[in-house]
Structures are given as C-alpha cells and as structure tokens.
A and B are shown apart, each in its own frame.
Chain A
C-alpha cells in the first residue's frame, strides 16, 4: 500500500477554549506505555488495555522512499516482498494464517517509514510475534516472488496514480515542490524503476534497513505483556544489529520563485493543487500551522469552504493543511473545481484566503473554534488500539520518544492569533509555492494516456 495523505490535523493535539477543559480529566492512555529496549537495539512499546479482546501489533521500520538511492519505489516494493514468503512460511502465508482468524493484516509505506500491522484477536498474539519475526529473520527474496510483486505493484500504480487525477496531482506537485530532497519522487516509485528493480537490490535494501536497531514494535490492546515481551526477546532478540544505517545527505536548496505545471487528464472537474515549503516534524511552528490549517479547512464554517464552496459556488471542495515529514514539511492545498467553473478563478479565490490570513490575524472566536476542533480530533484518536499503536509507533520512530498529550495541548493552547498570521507570512509566500493544474487537454491535443504501450 502506498502512503495515503496523512492529514496533519489528526494527531496534532488539542487545546482548551473553555474554562472546564475535558482533557484535564482525560488520562492519556499513551502515558502508560512501557518502553523496552533489547540489547540489539530493538525497541518494544507495550500498552495494555483489556476492555475488548483484540490487539494491534505494529512493526515500524524506519525506512521509506527517502532512503532510496537508485531505484525509486524500492521501499514500497519491498513492503510487498515482506508478504512473499520466508523460509518456513509460504507466499501470503503470513496474511492468510492471521486473516483466517479474522485478523486485519496489511502494511503501508510512506516517505519516511514503513508500517506492518496485524490487528488480531487476543489469542493470536504468539502467532503474530512468531510470524513477524519469521519474515524479518528468514525472508525469501527470490525472482519468482519479485516478478509477481512487480506486476502487483504496477497494478497498484495504475490504480492509484496513472488512472487517478488526484494521484497525478500529488505526484506532479511533489516533484515541483522538491527538487533535491528524496521527497521529490512518489512513494510508489516511477514505473521504470519498479520494472527494473532486481533481487540483489532488494536484498541489499533488506540487509541495510530491516535490522533490529531500525525497528520499533508497538503493541496496544488486550494481551499478556510479560509473555509477549518474553517471546519477543526469544525471537526478535536474536536478530543482529548493524552499526550504521545510511541516510541521504541531501538538503533542499532555497526555492528561487514560483513553480507551475499543467497536467492534462481526462476529467470533468479540474484539480488545483499547491504546495509551500514548511518546517519538518517537531518544529516549534508546527502547532501554529495546525491551527491555521484548521481555520482554513475544518468544517463547513471554515474559511475555504465558506468562500469557494458556499459563497462563490466555484469548487466542490477546498482545503489546505500542514503535512509534516521528517526532513521537511509541506503546506498542501487542494481544490476540486466545479465542471462549470474556471480553475483560474478558483486559484485566485484560494490564494485570496491565504493573503487574508497574512494581512490580518484570525478573530478570537475563530482561534477558539480551531483549538476546540483540534481537541476533539485528539480525543477521537484515542478510540481504537490501532490508532493508539500508530501514535506511539510514529512518535517513537520519528522523534525517539512518545509525546505526552499534555505537551501537545500546552503548545496548541499557547498559539496566538498573531502566531497564526506570523506563520502564514513566513511560509505561505508566493515565491516559495508550487502550483499544479490538472485539466482536460485542450481540443486538438492528442491524449497523452499514461505513456504505456499496449502490446
């Protein structure tokens, strides 16, 4: 699975606009996480909640598309290989064995990390641990599996990108926003690279990144903690660490002016996509950008909905939001242009709203509303084992620690109207933006298709 857009709003904390904040009475479940580090560097995060007899086991590999050096899409292709069988388990056996017990087994790859998850009923925990260890310890990387997964991934790419206008919008936007950082290529990779990746390349990637000191296990739900840790020590504990995990040295040079692209696609409602450089994850401006995103995009009283969808009736949807990555961030904007409307008019209305945020700070009322919306989204994010495991897994993988709820709350609480204006002025600058229009080809231009020749 490819990265889906991770809305920055989802886990980004909360604030209290009222005198009696709910979350003061809220016990952050993640605060009870037990962190165990094995001698080989493997980190195990365990959090027990016995309410329902289910558990989410997630294996976070700190490797994503940004770690690819020659073949783009390798991290994701490799994620598929992880289901292709190992010394003691046949192809798809992992997913089938757990799936047959009702478990939800899957994985996804992002620019920065790859996550394998097994959401299962409690009695399957020993099986999950053994199966996850088995594929990390004894993965089969052979030509028949690679040949098959190459085909599967190319179908995934056709589905999500080549025949999808939104997929095209993301792919083109990221390759405009980033010219140097490895974020410039799509997580699923370029078609040519998927076609040409070899068994040796996959093996090298596996040996470099699928090592215990580059993995975090996050386990949340109803399970026997001591038994699980004991089993993990006896299985994962035997894996050998590597001394050095390679990372790209590249930094993004400063953008020297607005970048624009027009992409032709057979569609009825054009898509406006824009992106500005923003700070990486963990930056002190993150919370102000979250509040700004919420003011612009969250709910039917948000500014973009009001302006573009409701008042002008030019767009079917319009939203902008801060997207954090480890080495950089992007402030993303998307609008679905009504078939009878002009994309240039939608772009002007959209950027007018951005300019307004730079001219005048939001009202106290808007600020309170946005903080409250963030607070509720935070509480909602505590509902399932899967979401909790994702939160602690991501925090530990990307920040090396679990951010307490209170810390996020305090930082969001501290955001002022002037902060919102300041971050708008700092980051949402015309010279620093990239704009993509996905539009139908003009009459007379032959369709480009996806560049695939059919035999």
Chain B
C-alpha cells in the first residue's frame, strides 16, 4: 500500500538510467553534485535602515531604486487573535471600514484619490496583525504618504459606510456558505478548536458580523492603533532621510497607549478522540478532505526542524511523500499539501487534498498512513539533506523583491523574533539533524487525534467512512 520513493532513491534511479544514454561528452547536470547556492547577503549593504521614534514606533526602510515605485505601510501587532469569539471578525470589519474614508475624504473621495494615482491601498487583518499598505509610483510618494497617514490615524468610520460594509460582508458570507473551500476550512477549524477564537473563521460568522457597527470598529481601532505597538515600513525608490523626516512629521506626535492583551490563551490540544465531520454537498463530484490537529506557534524554537519535517511530509510540492503517494504513484488527486499555520499562539496543522467521490476512504486511509509514517519513519539524512537544500533555495526565491524582504522583516517584528533571523536562517537550517526531526515528528504529528473533515455528497461518502469512528453529518 505504501510505496516509498523518497528523493534519495529517485536520484539513484536517475543515475542508473542515465548511464550510457547521454549523447554528449559532458555529463548531464543531474549526474553532478548540486553546486552550493550563492551566499549573498539578504540586502545589499547600506540599503536597509531601521529607526525607532520616541513614541515607540518602529521604522524599517529598504532602498531599492531599480524601479520608480514605492510601497509604504503600517503594521499593527494585533489582529483577530485579540478579539473574543463573540466578536469574531471585528478586526477584519475594522480593516474594511478603514478603507472607506479617512481624514477629509469620504469613501468615494478616497477611492478617487487612490485611483487617480494609479495606486493601490489595502487594509487587511490577519490573526496577529492589522496592516495598511499602499503602493504606487515614487513620484507620488507625498500623496501616498498622506493617504497612509490618514488611514492609520484618522479613519472616519462613517455610520453609512459601516452599514454598507456590514451588508457586503453578510452577503459574502452567505455566498461562501456552500463554497467547498470555505466549508472545508470552516469545519476544520471548528473541529480542532471548538470554543476558542481559532475555531471560528478569520472574518467572523453571520451572527457576529450582524452586530458590528461604526462604534465597534472605532473602538477596536482606538485600542490597537498605537505607535508603541506598530511598525512603519517602506521599500522601493525612496530616499531614507526624506522618508524619516516624513515619518517624524506625520507620526512623531502620535500618542502612546497601553497595549491590549494578546487575546485568548493558547488553545488546548485537539480533543484526544478523533472527530469526523462530513459536510453534505449533494451535487459535488469531488470530495474535499482535510486532516487536522493542533500545531506550533510562530516563535516556537522547533519551527525550523518542524518545517523541514513538513517539507518531506507534504510541504514541498512535487517532492513530498504525500504527493508521491497520492498523485505520482496513484493519480488519486491533482494536489495535496500539509502545513503548520504559524500564529502567535499555536495554530492548526492541516493536511488537505481532494479526490473523486468513490475514492474518499482510500485517500483518507493513505493520508493517515502517511502521518503515521511521518512519526514511525521520520526523514533520515537522505531526505533531510534535500529538505535543507529546499529550504535554503526557497528562502532565496522568496526574497527576490525588496517588498518581500521588508514583509519578512515586518513579520519578525510582529512576532518579537530576533532582527537577524533572516541572516542566520541558512545556518540554522544546516544545523538541523535527523535526531531533531525525529523528535519533532513524534512531538507534533498526531495521526491518532487528527480530525477528519470531508465535504461532498454524504449519501455516497458516509458508507465509506464505516469503521473510522463516529461520523457527524452536517448540512451547511
């Protein structure tokens, strides 16, 4: 049932096959050892500037004059994790309203101002942050800066816009009510984190959103928009001195406040008994399947070994064990992945795939078996070796643009991680041993208590789940 074709073995096969077929004097590159990746610095020396204002605002500026464009932003270090389940979605609702009017401009005037610059402006709430970002041409950076400052400091929270935003959110939630992806993530979260904020969708539910108004958003903004809990960032074709002067001018008088708590305590581990939830969508021809249990926090010291372990399991696209088992050797799916959601408190570990309805049980069994194998046969030095190379390569790929570099640096600041984390990343990856991976596999993979969520036609799927445990069938 399980076919082990790890990449180490695949490479041996390639070497064997290649012998004698290559028509050129020089060996093909896949017969040669991989050359080491270049150890270039993360940013060119002198291009990154950090500062802190007296009110505590952190400032990150990365100069990149290659293109005449700029990205300016402000990240607040609180998001949906900081609101109780009863007001789930309040950070998202606040973000939505911040886009709808600030300073002297109402919603329509603000839209006109942004579009006239050909610019973009977005305010988005995540679990642990609320971020305002604007981008446009560098010649417009004064105007962009003014817009950013208005949205950060002076959002209007007009009552009429709140009504409109609430109506749109409710309509969007109703649209999503039978969307397969939405159903899968919603029931996965509720199975693993019942009663905790993480058990509800990021942007809330119809019940919570229906209660939001301008006052609620204004209050949330007042509590989280604090200079001593925020990071200003800029990248692109900017002049550091001018930018710092603008930051001081606009944000220097911004008064400090007391930082709100981080929200609910870390969630309890997933229930020890497996939960199986079957969400009935009678007309679907494909079953969406997830397995999930509790995972690790963003700041966990085990993050890198866990990430390497997960690469081998299902986090590395075509190279992973899950892809090998479910696609390459069987054609049971088009895609499968596993992921540890990294938040301030431990977020879920999720394995996700889909298959034609009659194959549902077979796929669930294969997923559970791969999770068990993840513990029982953790990656040895062969698999770990490519997982390290992969992590270092992906790291370089992920930092191609200055925007990506700045976002990574802001992320470190949001989670109170060391400023030099990017600089030390490669050496920390190289230091991970098979013993580390074996330990984290046993600590963080729990096939026995993984919840199983299936979305699809219940009448065809329920009989297949016999013997797996008690099945809860829900109608969306």
Contacts and interface: CB of A to CB of B under 8 A. Distances in A.
Interface of A: 20, 22-23, 25-26, 51-54, 83, 87-93, 95-97, 99-105, 119-124, 126-127, 129-131, 134, 138, 147-156, 158-159, 162-163, 234-235, 238, 265-269, 298-302, 306, 309-310, 313, 316, 336, 338-340, 368-369, 372-377, 379-380, 382-385, 447-450, 452, 454-455
Interface in B93-138: 107-108, 111-112, 114-119, 135-138
* Shortest beta-carbon contacts, A-B, top 6: A102-B393, A151-B331, A376-B118, A300-B111, A269-B175, A95-B318
Given A120-B393, A235-B24, A22 B138 contact: yes
B10 A90 contact: yes
A153 B114 CA distance: 42
A129 to B, nearest CB: 8
B7 interface: yes
Contacts of A158: 285-286, 354, 356
Nearest to A96: B319
Interface string B187-220: 0000000000000000000000000000000000
Interface of B: 7, 10-11, 13-14, 17-18, 21-24, 26, 28-30, 34-38, 40, 66-69, 107-108, 111-112, 114-119, 135-139, 164, 167-168, 171-172, 174-175, 177-178, 180, 281-286, 316-319, 323-324, 327-335, 354-358, 386, 389-397, 399-401, 403, 460
Given A102-B389, A105-B318, A455 B115 contact: no
Contacts of B175: 267-269, 316, 336, 338-339
A447 B358 CA distance: 19
Contact of A88 (B22, B117, B399): B22
B401 A131 contact: no
B68 A163 contact: no
A100 B317 CA distance: 9
Contact of B40 (A53, A265, A369): A53
A119 B67 contact: no
Nearest to A455: B358
Contact of B30 (A105, A127, A269, A380): A127
A100 B331 CA distance: 21
A265 B460 CA distance: 19
B285 A449 contact: yes
Nearest to A126: B29
Given A96-B318, A100-B390, A454-B358, A123 B38 contact: yes
A217 B26 CA distance: 22
A26 B400 contact: no
B338 to A, nearest CB: 15
Contact of B356 (A95, A100, A154): A154
B10 A151 contact: no
Contacts of B281: 266
A422 to B, nearest CB: 24
B89 to A, nearest CB: 17
Contacts of B284: 163
A452 B285 CA distance: 7
Given A89-B30, A450-B285, 14 more contacts: A87-B21, A88-B21, A90-B14, A101-B37, A101-B389, A101-B393, A102-B394, A138-B21, A156-B334, A163-B180, A301-B114, A375-B118, A380-B135, A454-B357
Contacts of A159: 286, 334-335, 354
Nearest to A14: B118
Contacts of B107: 300, 310
A163 B356 CA distance: 11
Contacts of A101: 34, 37, 389-390, 393
A245 B301 CA distance: 58
B331 A149 contact: yes
B68 A25 contact: yes
Given A155-B334, A266-B281, A379-B137, A54 B397 contact: yes
Contacts of B38: 53, 121-123
B70 to A, nearest CB: 11
A384 B178 CA distance: 36
Nearest to A234: B24
Most B Cβ at <10 Å: residue of A101, A310, A338, A452: A101
B28 A379 contact: no
A99 B390 contact: yes
B390 A151 contact: no
B282 to A, nearest CB: 7
B17 A89 contact: yes
A383 B331 contact: no
Contact of B115 (A103, A152, A298, A309): A298
A156 B332 CA distance: 11
A101 B395 CA distance: 10
A335 to B, nearest CB: 12
B163 to A, nearest CB: 10
B396 A54 contact: yes
12 contacts: A99-B390, A127-B30, A138-B21, A155-B354, A163-B285, A234-B24, A234-B26, A268-B178, A369-B116, A372-B117, A384-B401, A454-B460
Contacts of A97: 11, 14, 30
Contacts of A100: 7, 316, 319, 386, 389-390
Nearest to A50: B40
Contact of A102 (B28, B68, B323, B396): B396
B174 to A, nearest CB: 4
